[in-house]
Amino acid sequence: MNYARGDMIEMLAAEYVVGTLRGPARRRFERLCTVSAAATAARGRWEDRLSALALQLTPVEPRAEVWRNIRASLAADPRARIGERPRMTRWLPLAVAAVLLGIAVWLGPRLLPQIEPTVMVTVLGADPAHAQWRVERSADAHRLRLVTIAALAANPDKTYELWALPRDGTPPVSLGLLPRQGDTARALSERQAAALLAAGKLAVSIEPPGGSPTGAPTGPVVMVGVI
Amino acid sequence: MRSPQFDNNELEQLLVRCADKDQAALETLYQRVCPQLFAVVLHILRRRDLAEDTLQEVFIRIWQQAGQYDQLRGRPLAWMISIARYRAIDLLRSQRRTVSLVEDELPEEFVAADEDSDSIEESSRTQRALRDCLRILSVPQQRSLALAYQAGLSHEAVAASMQQPLGTVKSWIRRGLQSLRRCLES
C-alpha cells in the first residue's frame, strides 16, 4: 500500500503507540521523533487517543512498599525539596546514616580482612539519584568488590551482568554477575583485570539466569557508569 | 469497569511542581494516578512483583522527566500512561528471551470499548470520542487492538491468542487504526 508521507508517519505512530511496531523499526521511529516535529506530534495524538483504552482497565492498588521505595530513591536526589517537614526529620536519617557509616568504616576492615584496600571505580545506577551498586577494585585490579546500595527484589528470571567497556572500542568484557544484595568480592582473571584497567566505562545489562549465554551483552543495557 | 475521574489541569500543575523538584507534588501525583498506571503495567507484565518494580521506575522517570513534559505530546495522563506502557513493553520483550509467557493466562479485562458504556463515567471528551469511534470497528478489529494495546502483545502473539493467521491480524489492527483515525478526525 502506498501512503503519502504524512499518512505513513501517522500509521507508524499509531503502531508505535499500540506497541505492534517492534524491533529496529521501533527504534527507527524513536529516532525519527527526535528530528521530526510531525512524527512527535503524531505520536502524541495517538498516545492521547488510545489512552482511553488504558482507562478502561480497572485500577489496581500496588503494595505500600512501592511508594516507600520511590521516596527512598528521591531522598538520594540532592535537588529534591521535601515540603513542609520539620528539619529534624530531614537531618535525622542523615545523621544516623553518618554514624552507621562511621561504624562501618571502622568495623569494615576488621570484619572483612580478606577485602584489600580498594580503589573506587564507579557508582552504577539508572541515574545519579538512584545509585544501585558501588564498584571498587584492588590496586592491581585483580580483585573486584561489589557493594549493593539498594537491595533488589528477588526475581529469578533476570540477572544483572557487569561489563567493562574498553576505551579502544573493542567488545565488552564480562566482569561477572552483580549481587542482589550485600557486598561481594571476587578475583578477576588477567583478561578481566586488563579490561577493567583499560575501560572508560562500566555497563550493566539484564541477562538470563546464569548470565549472558554468548559472552556478549544480550539484554538491554540498563546502567552505565563512567570510570 | 470503573474509571476514576482525572483532572488533567491538576495533573499538569503537579508535573510542573515535580519539574521544580517538589516531592509533595510527586506524592499527590502518585495518589492520583498510581492505581491506573499499575493496572496498565500489570496487564502487560502479568506478574505483580515485576509490575511493582516497573511502577517504581515509572514514577522515578516521571519525576526526572517532568520538565520535559510538553503539551504537544498530549494530555498529562496520556503522557504518563505512555511512559508506563513503553517501559513495560520494553521489559516484556527483554523477558521473552528467557521466559515464554503463557498466552492463556491473559487477564479477563479485554472488553470491547462499547460494552456497558452507558454506566461509565467519562473522564474526558477524548475517551468518549474514542468509545464512539471504536463502535464503527468490527469486533475482531476491536479485540485485536485491545490485545495489542492493553496486554502489549506482538502481532504474532495476538494471532496466537485469537487463533487467526498473522496476516489477518496485522490487517485488522492496521485497518482498525485507519478507521479510528478517519472517525476521530472527522
We report the CATH number of the domain holding residue A206 as: 2.60.40
What structural domains does chain B harbor? 1-101 (1.10.1740.10), 124-186 (1.10.10.10)
Q: For chain A, how far is it from start to end, CA to CA, in angstroms?
A: 50
Total number of domains in chain A: 3
Per-residue pLDDT at B180 exceeds 90: yes
Q: pLDDT tens for residues B21-69?
A: 889 999 999 999 999 999 999 999 988 999 999 999 999 999 988 887 8
Scanning A200-219 for CB atoms below 8 A from B yields 206, 208-209, 218-219
Question: Measuring CA to CA, which residue among B53, B48, B46 is closest to residue B102?
Answer: B46
Largest CA distance in chain A: 73
Q: Do B149 and A209 touch (CB under 8 A)?
A: no
Same domain, A122 and A205: yes
Question: Measuring CA to CA, which residue among B7, B14, B87, B149 is closest to residue A52?
Answer: B149
- Where chain A has pLDDT below 50, the residues are 1-3, 83-87, 109-115, 117
In a domain, A60, yes or no: no
Where is pLDDT greater, at A196 or B4? A196
Same domain, A143 and A72: no
pLDDT recorded at residue A157: 73
Instruction: Give A-chain residues touching B150 at CB under 8 angstroms.
Output: 53-54, 56-57
Domain that includes residue A92, residue range: 66-107
* Grid-cell match 495489542, residue found: B148
Q: pLDDT tens for residues B80-132?
A: 999 999 999 988 887 754 444 444 344 444 443 344 433 334 456 667 788 88
State the DSSP string of A160-206. Answer: EEEEEEETT-PPPEEEEEPPSSSEEEEE--HHHHHHHHHEEEEEEEE
pLDDT recorded at residue A154: 66
Cα separation, A163 vs B37, whole angstroms: 33
Same domain, A169 and A209: yes
pLDDT recorded at residue B65: 87
Q: Do B30 and A218 touch (CB under 8 A)?
A: no
In a domain, A99, yes or no: yes
pLDDT recorded at residue B101: 42
Q: Do A47 and B21 touch (CB under 8 A)?
A: no
Is the CB of residue A52 less than 8 Å from the CB of residue B180? no
Instruction: Report the percentage of chain B scoring pLDDT > 90.
Output: 53
In a domain, A131, yes or no: yes
Q: Is A67 on the interface with B (CB under 8 A)?
A: yes
Same domain, A83 and A157: no
Cα separation, A11 vs A205, whole angstroms: 32
Same domain, A174 and A205: yes
Same domain, A180 and A216: yes
In a domain, A61, yes or no: no
Is the CB of residue B127 less than 8 Å from the CB of residue B121? no
Of the residues A56, A73, A85, the best mutation for testing chain B's interface (the one with the most B CB atoms within 10 Å of its CB) is A56
In a domain, A112, yes or no: no
Is the CB of residue B117 less than 8 Å from the CB of residue B133? no
Per-residue pLDDT at B14 exceeds 60: yes
pLDDT recorded at residue B34: 95
Q: Do B149 and A41 touch (CB under 8 A)?
A: no
Minimum mean pLDDT among A90-94, A205-209, B8-12, B73-77: which range? A90-94
Q: pLDDT tens for residues A27-43?
A: 999 999 888 889 988 99
Same domain, A208 and A158: yes
Is the CB of residue B22 less than 8 Å from the CB of residue A81? yes
pLDDT recorded at residue B115: 40
Q: What region, left, alpha or beta, does residue A117 occupy, with left being phi > 0 and alpha being psi -120 to 50 degrees?
A: beta
Nearest chain A alpha carbon to B145: A18
In a domain, A179, yes or no: yes
- Bridge partners (DSSP) of residue A162 are A176, A204
pLDDT recorded at residue A119: 81
